[in-house]
Amino acid sequence: RYQNLGKGLADGVRTRLSIAGLSILSPTSSKELKASGQRSEKMQNSRVEKYLEGTARLEKETMSVAVNLIDSTTEAIIWARLYEGKLEEGLGGIVDEISLDVARQVKQPLRKDKLHALQNRGSANLDAVIAMYAGNEAEIKYRDSANEEDFVEALRSYQKAIALDPDYCLAYVHLGDLYEARFVETDQAADLQAMVRAYQKAHDLDASVPQVHVGLGWAYFHQGRFDSAYASFKKALALDSAEER
């Protein structure tokens, strides 16, 4: 049930620290460095100064997360903390605490008002969050394989996330992304229509999310509405720049 819990925590912290102005490695780059037998050397070559390691444990309805901030040159732990929270309260609280603490440790303050804005576009329902991340994993497989079974798996996960939390803006964005990926492969009108509906619903829920306008931009582009596509992409850039301030 909670196999995507760690990914949800990691992605949440990564997003918040990026908003704080920190340069964060992509998930793919992070995995490559972790798998390397010469991690310290490769991190220095990639100009990585510090990195986070963490473990998450579940006992009954309590979630415990241990986080270490490590110097990439010396491999020394320079800060550590244990966080605990109730599953019913969702990931948001613990993710915010970790992000605020890490930002303070690297002297890059993170404003709480920006965290509140992020919470509004996420979900307080832990199972909905986990379902969305399961959809992300299946969607990545589909984009690599174009296998219909992977598409169906991703679709069911996103639909589950939306059923659990009908106001989950980002779940609709990812649902639109999934249909867009298949439309590029098949050029089926039904996928284009489903893509537009998903992005429009996300827009109705929260028009301040940059990804919503990126999605609408691609929907307009595929419809041949190039002026509208340009306007949407421009809006996404403006919102993204505003979040960085």
pLDDT tens per residue across span 141-178: 898 888 999 999 999 999 999 999 999 998 999 999 99
pLDDT higher than threshold 60 for residue 245: no
Q: Identify the residue whose tokens are 């609709």.
A: 172
Residue 160 near residue 131, CB atoms below 8 Å: yes
Stretch among 80-94, 181-195, 227-241 having the lowest mean pLDDT: 80-94
Helices 126-145 and 169-186 pack at an angle, to 10 degrees, of 10
105 confidence band (pLDDT: 50, 70, 90): confident
Q: What is the pLDDT of residue 42?
A: 57
- Given this model, what pLDDT does residue 67 score? 92
Q: Which amino acid is at 75?
A: E
Single-letter amino acid, residue 239:
L
Residue-level pLDDT at 110: 58
Strands 62-71 and 50-59: antiparallel
Based on C-alpha coordinates, what's the Rg of the chain? 19
> Given a cut of 90, is residue 80 above it in pLDDT?
yes
